[in-house]
Every structure is written in C-alpha cells, then in structure tokens.
Structure 1
C-alpha cells in the first residue's frame, strides 16, 4: 500500500512540473521573449546598450517570422516532399540572414564567441530520432 501511494505521488509530482514549464512560455509576449534573448546575449557577450537595442529588434523580427512560418507549416501539413524541402530552404535562408545581421551588430570577437556558444549548444542537444541508436 505504501508503495502504491508513493508511486501515485511521484506521478502527480512529475505531471505538475511538466505542465508548469509549458505554461510559463505561453504567458510571455513576443516583446518580452525578444528582450530576454537579447539580455542573455548581453550577459554572455558583454554587449553595449546600442547593440542590445539592435538585438531586441532583430529577435522581435525573427520571432514574428517564425510565427508566420509556423502558421504556414500548420496550413501545409499535408505538403509533399518538394514543398517541405522548399520550406526547409526558406528557413535556412532566414537563418543566414539572421547571421548576417548579427555579424553587423556584433564585433568580430563577439561574433566568434557567439558562434562558439551556438556550436556548444548544438552539441548539447540530443540527436534527432532518426539518428539515434538505442
């Protein structure tokens, strides 16, 4: 009986924590999200206030573009491979544009450090499902 009660409380605790994380993201506005991303880079790269403002604008624009792209993907759920490849290509172009804009905002040292942080972040992620080996 004690084991059953322990298991029930364990599952309840896990479900509560899992729901809280997603709920917090839904409450953050796009402007707040852009500000948070900019602040994080300010701390990591030691940016000045002018750079911070430019980053806020860049991230706000990127969040809006991602929202539009997400809506387009939802609309084209049943798209064939060619359409999906086109959307993937469009996304990659957006990423390249963002890198170019970042390069204009950041100094050379800051940009190199940003690239290193991105690489570290990529390595920290789990491999996609199709590449995982059990």
Structure 2
C-alpha cells in the first residue's frame, strides 16, 4: 500500500489574502474554512481526500531564513509563458532571486507573503 498527497499546507500571516491570491492563480475556489482561520482551497467540486491535492492555508508563520525547501511549479493551461507571467505579476506575484543564473527557461516568483514558486515554459492541459 502507498500514500498519496491529499493536502499541501502553507502557513500565512494573512490566510484570506493568500487564499484569494492562490485561488486566482490556480482557478481554485474556497472549499472550507475552519474556526482557527485556516482556509482550504482546491479545484471547483473537489473535496478533502479527493483525487487532486487541495491547499490548506493556515494562520501563523514563524520567520524563515533563506530559500524554501518546497515550492510549487506551475505551467500555464491557456496561454504562453510570457502572458501567464504578466497575469501573475498583475495578481501580486513578484520576481524572486534564489540564485538562478538568468539562463533558466522558467521564472522564479514569490506570492504576496514571499513564498517562492516557479512558472515553467510548457503549456499543459487543464484538469
């Protein structure tokens, strides 16, 4: 028997803002909101433990030094990389420097709370 990723958890100083950002970026919706302030987001119609992992954004964050050990890699589904980059920047993402050379085929960005993620070049089919 194997395990499967069911949720990805992100701590946030402002869960509402971060959930709204990632919902816009990924085309996700709010699925659940807990009394402790955590917000679960995912594809429309998804549920906890379903086929696709959901994202849980919880309140509270201790300062962290340096580059995150885990990050999202994103691919656009309906536009080229440059058009998607412009959309992400308009939503509040900012370029991030994690030591890349400048020759990469991807862009390193950070969400409104500084969590790094990469925008890759390939266009993929929507789920």
Alignment TM class, shorter chain as reference: under 0.3
Please give the TM-score of this superposition, normalised by the length of structure 2: 0.27
Structure with larger Rg: 1
Structure with the largest fraction of helix: 1
Structure with the largest fraction of strand: 2
